[in-house]
Amino acid sequence: STDGGRNLSLDSIPMGLPMSDPTAWATAMNNLGMAPMGMTGQPLLPDFDPALGMMTGIPPINPMMPGLGIVPPPIPPDMPAVKEIIHCKSCTLFPPNPHLPPPATRERPPGCKTVFVGGLPENGTEQIIMEVFEQCGEVIAIRKSKKNFCHIRFAEEFMVDKALYLSGYRIRLGSSTDKKDTGRLHVDFAQARDDLYEWECKQRMLAREERHRRRLAEERFRPPSPPPVVHYSDHECSVVAEKLKDDTKFSEAIQTLLTWIERGEVNRRTANNFYSMIQSANSHIRRLVNEKAAHEKEMEEAKEKFKLALSGILVQFEQIVAVYHSASKQKAWDHFTKAQRKNISVWCKQAEEIRNIHNDELMGIRREEEMEMSDEEIEDPSEMKETEESALVSQVEALKEENDSLRWQLDAYRNEVELLKQEQGKASRDEDTTKEQQMKLLQQALQGMQKHLLKVQEEYKKREAELEKVKEDKLKIEALLENLKEQESSTSRVCACSQEKECPLEKTLSNSPVKSEREVLLVGIISTFLHVHPFGASIEYICSYLQRLDSKICTAEVEVLMTRLQNTFRQELSGVGASLEKRWKFCGFDGLKMT
Same domain assignment for residues 285 and 187: no
Find the mean pLDDT for residues 499-514.
Answer: 53
Average the pLDDT over each of 284-288, 474-478, 488-492, 566-570 and give the range with the smallest value. Answer: 488-492
Taking a C-beta distance cutoff of 8 angstroms, is the pair 46, 55 a contact? yes
Task: Examine residue 556 and state whether it is found in any structural domain, yes or no.
Answer: yes
User: Which residues have C-beta within 8 Å of that of residue 199, sequence separation ≥ 6?
Assistant: 110, 111
pLDDT of residue 333: 87
Judge whether 95 and 169 are in contact, CB under 8 Å.
yes
Q: Is 177 exposed, middle or buried (0-12, 13-18, 19+ CB in 10 A)?
A: exposed
The answer to whether the Cα torsion of 201, 207, 209, 215 is positive or negative is negative
Rounded-to-integer distance, Cα 274 and Cα 276, Å: 5
| AA letter at 549 | L
Q: Which residues of 301-324 are buried (b: 16+ CB within 10 A; e: fewer)?
A: eeeeeeeeeeeeebeebeebbeeb
Q: Hey, which of 176-185, 216-225, 287-296 has the most confident mean pLDDT?
A: 287-296
CA distance 519 to 562: 10
Q: What value does the mean pLDDT take over residues 417-433?
A: 72
Phi, psi of 79 (to 5 degrees): -95, 140
378 vs 20, which has greater pLDDT? 378
Classified as helix, coil or strand, 132 is helix
Per-residue model confidence (pLDDT) at position 80: 56
Whether 543 and 555 have beta carbons less than 8 Å apart is answered as: yes
Nearest to 172 by CA among 135, 133, 124: 124
Residue with the larger pLDDT of the pair 351 and 31: 351
Please state whether beta strands 186-189 and 114-118 pair in parallel, antiparallel, or not at all (unpaired).
Answer: antiparallel
Residue 152 · residue 117 · CB < 8 Å: yes
Which of 18-22, 93-97, 98-102, 319-323 has the least mean pLDDT? 18-22
Q: How far is CA 436 from the centre of its chain?
A: 69
CB contact at 8 A, 358 and 317: yes
Contact 92, 85 (CB under 8 A): yes
Same domain, 177 and 283: no
Q: Is the domain of 258 the same as that of 324?
A: no
In a shared domain, residues 285 and 334: no
SS3 track for 265-283: CCCCCCHHHHHHHHHHHHH
Same domain, 327 and 346: yes
Same domain, 292 and 321: no
Indicate if the pLDDT at residue 141 is higher than 80: yes
- Predicted local distance difference test score (pLDDT) of residue 518: 81
Domain boundary among 277, 297, 317: 297
* pLDDT > 70? residue 85: yes
Closest among 240, 231, 233 to 269, alpha carbons compared: 233
| Closest among 118, 195, 106, 197 to 157, alpha carbons compared | 195
**For 530-546, how does the pLDDT look when each residue is reduced to its tens digit (9 = 90+)?**
888 888 888 888 888 88
Q: Is residue 432 part of a domain?
A: no
Residues of the chain above pLDDT 70, percent:
78
Taking residues 464-488, report their average pLDDT: 87
What is the domain extent for residue 312?
Answer: 308-368
Q: For the residues 266-295, what does the mean pLDDT come to?
A: 90
Q: What is the pLDDT of residue 115?
A: 95
Distance of alpha carbon 169 from alpha carbon 189, whole angstroms: 17
Determine the pLDDT at residue 155. Answer: 92
Q: Could you tell me the pLDDT band of residue 45, with boundaries at 50, 70 and 90? A: very low
Residue 589 has pLDDT above 90, yes or no: no
| Confidence band, pLDDT 50/70/90 cuts, at residue 577 | low
pLDDT bucket at 139, cuts 50 / 70 / 90: very high
Query: Which of 201, 218, 243 is a domain's end point?
Result: 201
574 falls in which pLDDT band (50, 70, 90)? confident
Q: What is the CATH number of the domain that holds 115?
A: 3.30.70.330
Are 113 and 179 part of one and the same domain?
yes
Residue 330 falls within a domain, yes or no? Answer: yes
Residue 30, pLDDT > 70, answer no
Predicted confidence (pLDDT) per residue in 295-341, tens digit: 999 998 998 888 888 888 888 988 898 888 888 888 888 888 888 88
pLDDT attached to residue 497: 62
Please check whether residue 584 lies inside any domain of the structure: yes
Nearby residues of 227 by Cβ (< 8 Å), 6 or more positions away: none
pLDDT at 499: 59
CA neighbours within 13 Å on the CB side: how many for 135? Answer: 26
For the chain, the maximum distance between any two Cα atoms, rounded to a whole number of angstroms, is: 150
Task: Go through the chain and tell me how many residues it has.
Answer: 595
What's the whole-number mean pLDDT along residues 440-465?
90
Dihedral sign computed on CA atoms, order 444, 449, 454, 456:
positive
Domain of 570: which CATH number? 1.10.10.10
User: Are the C-beta atoms of 396 and 460 separated by less than 8 Å?
Assistant: yes
Q: Where does 232-366 show beta strands of DSSP type E? A: none
How far apart are the two ends of the chain, measured CA to CA in Å?
Answer: 132
User: What is the CB-side half-sphere exposure of residue 457 using CA atoms within 13 A?
Assistant: 9
Cα(120)–Cα(139) distance, rounded to whole angstroms? 18
Backbone angles phi, psi at 574, to 5 degrees: -130, 150
pLDDT of residue 208: 95
Q: Is residue 313 part of a domain?
A: yes
| Residue 427 belongs to some domain of the structure | no
Residue 352 clears pLDDT 60, i.e. is over it: yes
pLDDT of 517 = 83
Same domain, yes or no, for 319 and 273? no
- The reply to whether 163 and 189 lie within a common domain is yes
**Lowest mean pLDDT: which of 143-147, 295-299, 349-353, 414-418?**
414-418
- The DSSP result for 417-452, as a single string, is HHHHHHHHHHS-GGGHHHHHHHHHHHHHHHHHHHHH
Average pLDDT score over the chain: 79
Domain count across the chain:
4
User: How far is Cα 43 from Cα 244, in angstroms, rounded to an integer?
Assistant: 82
Per residue in 241-262, pLDDT (tens digit) is 998 888 888 888 888 999 999 8
Residue where a domain terminates, one of 250, 273, 297: 297
pLDDT in tens, 480-500: 888 888 887 777 776 666 555
pLDDT at 150 (0 to 100):
95
Reported pTM: 0.31
pLDDT at 403 over 50: yes
pLDDT of residue 194: 92
Closest CA to 339 of 329, 330, 347, 349: 347
CA distance 256 to 274: 12
pLDDT value at position 359? 86
Which has the minimum average pLDDT: 53-62, 371-380, 434-443? 53-62
Segment 171-192 mean pLDDT: 88
| 170 and 99 co-located in one domain | yes
Look at residue 375 and tell me if it is in a domain: no
Residue 69 pLDDT greater than 60, yes or no? no
Helix (H, G, I), strand (E, B) or coil at 567: coil
Give burial (CB, 10 Å; 0-12/13-18/19+) of 40.
middle
Residues 455, 97: Cα–Cα separation, whole Å: 122
Angle between helix axes 555-564 and 539-549 (nearest 10 degrees) is 110
For residues 87 and 269, give the distance between their C-alpha atoms in angstroms, rounded to a whole number: 103
**75-79, 221-225, 303-307, 321-325: lowest mean pLDDT where?**
75-79
470: in domain = no
pLDDT at 579: 74
Residue 367, exposed/middle/buried by CB under 10 A (0-12, 13-18, 19+)? middle
All residues at 6 or more sequence positions from 24 whose CB lies less than 8 Å from its CB, including other chains? 84, 85, 86, 87
Q: Are residues 105 and 172 in the same domain?
A: yes
568/534 same-domain check = yes
